Structure 1
Amino acid sequence: MAILISLFIVGWLAVSLIGTQAYFLGEQTKTIHQRNWNSPEFDRLAKSFTGKDTDYLVRIPAYSLDAYNAQKN
């Protein structure tokens, strides 16, 4: 029974670590709202979990061309 419990705990820790890395890697490539563009807290957390800096050449601002601005042109 102890082996089963320890396997469950190790599996849960592995899944949570992989899920956290996947979340931050995904967030580093998503579009981002302008108000969150320079977030040192996000950059620090993302680097600590993934080991990679946020590449702002990959990220694009979200809502930079919204429906209102698109109709004005």
Structure 2
Amino acid sequence: MKPFTEKAIQIIKNIPEGRVMTYGQVAFAAGSPRGARQGVRVLHTMSSKYSLPWHRVISSRRTLHQGSGCS
């Protein structure tokens, strides 16, 4: 697994209950300031496997991204 993916998974797992982050914030915190789309990919492909709280990651427009792991 790539370092960005590992970091993004840990960041998403550690978003506190009642709080949200944008995909861009997750990417920035994981070391890739322009990697918001990669954050979407991580959440979409890894949310079931790692029990990621997909509902705590939102778009920059402050909305849930359709298909962001909602299953």
Normalising by the residue count of structure 1, what TM-score does the alignment of the two structures yield?
A: 0.29
Q: Counting helix residues as a fraction of each chain, which structure ranks higher?
A: 1
Query: Which of 1 and 2 has greater Rg?
Result: 1
What TM-score comes out, normalization by structure 2 length?
0.29
